[in-house]
Structure 1
């Protein structure tokens, strides 16, 4: 399996344009959250006959998270902790939205569609197709890239998300 530097370098090849980078900084977290939110609606716990809190927390979103974490752990402990943070923040937002006045399903679907439309536009500006078109694993690399890119843009790192100094 490729290492983190290789993934980031390959991902960065189609994310060099500053507009596309900012599009990703905004839209990747929205896509991450809304995808998890849509999977959250799959009631696996209920299907398994669980009740109460167990039924609520055993769902497609938590299953998706569990399936993705070994990939991040394989890259590094730091990456897995970073992505655990993404998951925990997203789950907190999902639970808050699920218990609030807006319907989780429609809200997540709307955010997901809008964010993907903006991402497509960002790649049109970039002039390159999204990395995941050639390899779906890049859907898991995007949040790592965004995290590193934000750190770089805020001045906390000398290396941008793609791993190559500017």
Structure 2
């Protein structure tokens, strides 16, 4: 018994040459795409825009935003006030913890957005200087009392605003949002002054009533 043998399909020489040329062209085209394709990497600017948009989604109610304009600066200043009591010896001088933490925070804000970061640098400088003046003219007991008043009061305003919002704070889902909060307030302030209108697309998810 003979079994059938498989034979390669026969094609005319010109047709086979055309098929091989087409296959080579397709392979080279795919190879060039593979070699020269560069994946798009998210930049720090796009990271800030995404985080700003996410933060805005938790702050649509105008009353919530209003409480944050007071609550967030109160919390930040209270922390800088407490850190001003901590002194780190540097050579013959002592640098307060407020300067160290403030510089680190400003560096992070500038890395995310230059304009907002520089504005935050000015605001942070003012708060650090005021905190330093208070700690040098008040006793530590009075400073701690002021810290607790501002810290608790700031958080009370935060939670009051989110009671209006009907949604928990953003940092409960993403801790990084706590770092974005001060930038959000600064972005809103700059846009109110007619600056950085390009950020409006990331902060307009709000209720107007």
Which category of TM-score, normalised to the shorter sequence, fits these structures?
0.7 to 0.9
After the TM superposition, which segments of 4 or more aligned residues of structure 1 sit over 4 Å from their partners?
A: 157-162
Deviation at 1:29, TM superposition (A): 1.0
Distance 2:190 2:120 in 1: 15
Residue equivalent to 1:60: 97
Point out the structure with max Rg over C-alpha: 2
Residue equivalent to 1:81: 118
Structural RMSD (CA):
2.4
**C-alpha distance after superposition, 1:44-103 (max 9, x if no partner):** 23xx6x55xx21xx2222221232233212212212211111211101221232233472
Paired residues, number: 158
Deviation at 1:146, TM superposition (A): 0.8
**C-alpha distance after superposition, 1:87-138 (max 9, x if no partner):** 1110122123223347222212211111111211111111111111122221
The answer on whether the counterparts of 2:84 and 2:132 sit within 8 Å (CA) in structure 1 is no
Residue equivalent to 1:10: 54
Residue equivalent to 1:21: 65
Q: After the TM superposition, which residues 149-160 of structure 1 pair with which residues of structure 2 at under 5 Å, given as runs?
A: 149-152=188-191, 154=192, 156=194, 160=200
User: What TM-score, normalized to structure 2?
Assistant: 0.66
Residue equivalent to 1:146: 185
The answer on whether the counterparts of 2:64 and 2:161 sit within 8 Å (CA) in structure 1 is yes
Distance 2:100 2:146 in 1: 21
Q: Which fold has the larger relative contact order, with Cα–Cα distance below 8 Å and residues 6 or more apart in sequence?
A: 1
User: What TM-score, normalized to structure 1?
Assistant: 0.81
For structure 2, list consecutive stretches of 5 or more residues without a partner in the other structure: 1-43
Deviation at 1:150, TM superposition (A): 2.7
The answer on whether the counterparts of 1:149 and 1:161 sit within 8 Å (CA) in structure 2 is no
Match of 2:51, SS state, is: helix
Q: Which moved more, 1:69-78 or 1:126-135?
A: 69-78
